[in-house]
Amino acid sequence: MKQNKEKFGLKDFDFTKIDLDINITPAGKVDGPSAGGLMVTAIVSALTGRSVTPGLAMTGEITMRGDILPIGGLKQKVMAAHRMGYKMVIFPWANLKDVEDIPKEVRDGIELKAVKTYDEIYPHAIVPAEDAPKA
């Protein structure tokens, strides 16, 4: 995160004054490995004080370099997001082939955004500072 601090709106953030300790249970023990992009978004939101875009759902494992890896169950995840009223689902580019399995009425009712890296998620996920509600 330090090497991308300007890109993520953390230019003046002092990383020497905070430690982030993230513990992840090994894959197969619990659900959750496909929430990597979401976890990075939550951290960026917390550190910048900027909101996550309303109506956004996302899925995708993430590498230490920010690559978004494929997941299982895209159809079910998109259908659940649609049912809950989400407006957009961000998902791994590698799962693009799975979109045809999603019913047409669901695909037509939600924006689907395939991404390869976290750099493609960030502009959609974090509300720009100039658009944030004024206190």
Q: Which residues pair with 87 in a beta bridge?
A: none
Q: Are strands 111-115 and 56-58 parallel, antiparallel or unpaired?
A: unpaired
Q: Is 45 a catalytic residue?
A: no
Task: Report in angstroms the alpha-carbon separations of 17 from 39, 46, 62.
Answer: 21, 15, 26
Q: Catalytic annotation on 34? A: yes
Tell me if 9 sits within 8 A of 126, measured CB to CB.
yes
| Catalytic pick among 29, 77, 97, 134 | 77
Catalytic-labelled residue, pool 34, 45, 113, 116: 34
- Residues with active-site annotation: 34, 77
